[in-house]
Amino acid sequence: MMNMKHDTKAKQIPGWLIFLLAAACGLIVANLYYAQTVIGPISLTTGLSSAAAGLIVTLTQIGYVIGLLFIVPLSDIMENRRLVTSFLILLVVALAAAAFSTHALLFLTASLVIGIGSVVAQILVPYATYLTSEEQRGRVVGNVMSGLLLGIMLARPIASFITDAFGWQAVFISSAIVIALLALLLSRALPVRQPHPAMKYGQLIVSLGTLLKTLPMLRRRALYQASLFGAFSLFWTIVPLRLAHDFGMTQQGIAWFALAGVGGAIAAPIAGRWADKGLTKILTGLAMVIAALSFGLAYVFQGHSTASLVLLVIVAITLDMAVSGNLVLGQRIIYSLANEARGRVNGIFMSIFFIGGAIGSSLGSWSYASGGWSLTTLIGLIMPLLALGYYFTEKKTGVVSNS
């Protein structure tokens, strides 16, 4: 339950605060992805072998899931502004440690903590829903999530550009400075939200299983997004390899390709607005169809011509649109399921679909090594089709009541 003074402001959330929350989510979540395109230079500095270099990404993801399951639920029992500021400070320390690491163990430890600290983004998203009315929730979530998705999509090319110009350490130093300033700004700008919990922390963690068991729509939306995010992760894990091998692109060229894909983030605020008009179900099915068609095109047109490259850019944009749009639709629904447990519900939702992303990345690495781009795109096609098959089992009444 919020303080009463914030209930009265729920319908009047100012535009600058929505923008601040969107920017904050993007800047924070980007820390999960900076290392992915600069693993090579980091490995040379820290002495990591090529086989062990993948631990950088894996440990960051593990830290994020730990944070989703054990830190995000704290937002249901602790004052949110203080919680956000505390973990942003932890993130700054971890980023600084990563920047000045010369040994593998220190950098890998810092990577784990960076993942944990980055879950602040998933505290801010449900926090935004407490500041708005039900009628505006889709729009607000869409705008905030568009910022978060831009952070995900821009992180890789930005890291590549900065590393190319100043070295990989500059990526983490810059982020540490930005996050420190952000922590100061949020500590001053965010309204206080003090929950009045009916349970202690241990009971809160146990309740995660209860929520997952008793909220079928939470399970359904999490699995929808896990399938689409798995396909998304598969694509972005392997497409840099295809661009380098089949089109001869340099690291900088791959970064420009990733920037082109950012255009798909426009779907997030649009999906939020249309969801407010009761179009959640049809948009969900449309997102799955678009994702499947994107991989279908990539599978059919596998040439090395300029036209094939242009088509690949289009596929990147449409796939990003499908995934970002469906994410907003899912979050709008799950935030209406348990008002006093939005932090926990969001933690469950994000951890499930993030696991889907990790599975997609792993499948991508295996499929590209085993069967090249053909097998990779075929698996990418199957994942949204599986989600679509599950979608057709959804009861109409279940959607109407939650959309």
**Tens digits of residue pLDDT in 185-218:** 999 999 888 887 778 888 888 988 999 999 999 9
Q: Cβ atoms within 10 A of the Cβ of 307, count?
A: 9
Tell me which of 172, 197, 222 is where a domain ends: 197
Same domain, yes or no, for 191 and 209?
Answer: no
pLDDT band, residue 84 (cuts 50/70/90):
very high
CA–CA separation, 237 vs 378, rounded Å? 15
Q: What's the CA gap between 220 and 65, in Å, rounded?
A: 19
Q: Are residues 161 and 221 in the same domain?
A: no
User: Are 168 and 54 contained in the same domain?
Assistant: yes
For residues 275 and 284, give the distance between their C-alpha atoms in angstroms, rounded to a whole number. 10
pLDDT of the residue at 294: 95
More confident residue, 11 or 47: 47
Q: Are residues 315 and 396 in the same domain?
A: yes
| CATH code, domain with 50 | 1.20.1250.20
Do 310 and 331 lie in a common domain?
yes
Percent of the chain surpassing pLDDT 70: 94
Which token pair is 25?
């989510």
Same domain, 60 and 38: yes
Distance CA(398)–CA(401), nearest Å, equals 6
- Note whether 209 and 188 are same-domain residues: no
Task: Identify whether residues 164 and 309 lie together within a single domain.
Answer: no
Residue 6: pLDDT band with limits 50, 70, 90: very low
Residues 6+ apart with CB under 8 A from 257: 239, 243, 249, 312, 313, 316
In this structure, are 34 and 175 located in the same domain? yes
Q: How many CB atoms lie within 10 A of CB 5?
A: 9
User: What pLDDT sits at residue 193?
Assistant: 85
Least confident span in 94-98, 174-178, 237-241: 237-241
3-class state of residue 301 by DSSP: coil
Domain count within the chain:
2
Structural domain containing residue 155: 1-197
Task: With beta carbons less than 8 A apart as the criterion, state whether 329 and 268 touch.
Answer: no
The tokens of 282 are what?
A: 């049809």
pLDDT given at position 176? 98
Pick from 162, 182, 197: which residue ends a domain? 197
Residue partners of 63: CB distance under 8 A and separation at least 6: 111, 112, 113, 114, 115, 116, 117, 118
Residue 375 has pLDDT above 80, yes or no: yes
CA distance 84 to 80: 6
Last residue of a domain, one of 197, 219, 243: 197
Mean pLDDT of 59-83: 89
The answer to whether residues 146 and 280 belong to one domain is no
Work out the angle at residue 265's Cα, subtended by the Cα atoms of residues 156 and 32, and round it to the nearest 5 degrees: 35
The verdict on 387 and 302 lying in the same domain is yes
Q: Is the pLDDT of residue 24 over 90?
A: yes
Is 271 found in the same domain as 168?
no
Segment 266-285 mean pLDDT: 84
Highest-pLDDT range among 105-114, 150-159, 266-275, 358-367 = 105-114
